[in-house]
Amino acid sequence: MAISCLCLSTTNLTVNSINEQHIRSPLNSTLKSLSKSGKLDEVLKLLQQPHLSKTRDLDSYATFLHTCISRKSIHHGRTLYLHLLESKDTENLLKNPILKSKFITLFSACGRLDEANRVF
């Protein structure tokens, strides 16, 4: 009996994870596609919408920042950074080493060493 409960519990967790991923997937795919296409203004609008904050993943932010770095778009990267500083829902993202590194790289690549140092 305990084994069947364990299996049922594990199955429910798997189904819940799949459902959550299914909901997130279209938005994150859109964010990544827009980033790769260089439509940074559109991506920023979606990233800044508070009601979507729990449906975005780390890869969406990383892809956006990668595009900012390759295009040396300090404006878009700085706007996202300031948004993350002000947002309570996303403040932990600034502590993420991957995003922190991307912000440092962006600011450094754009000659803003003082800002890169602040992020560090």
The full set of domain ranges for the chain reads 25-119
pLDDT in tens, 52-106: 777 778 888 899 999 999 999 999 999 999 888 887 766 678 888 999 999 999 9
118 vs 20 pLDDT, higher one? 118
DSSP state of 88: S
pLDDT attached to residue 89 = 64
Alpha carbon distance 15, 27 (integer Å): 20
Residue 38 falls in which region: left (phi positive, over 0), alpha (psi -120 to 50) or beta: left
pLDDT attached to residue 91 = 67
Would you state the structure tokens that stand for residue 78, as one six-digit string?
């700085």
Alpha carbon distance 61, 3 (integer Å): 40
Determine the 3-state secondary structure of 89 from DSSP. Answer: coil
pLDDT attached to residue 20 = 44
The contacts of residue 45 (CB under 8 Å, 6+ apart) are none
Q: How far is CA 116 from the centre of its chain?
A: 19
pTM (2 d.p.) = 0.71
CB atoms within 10 A of CB 66: 17
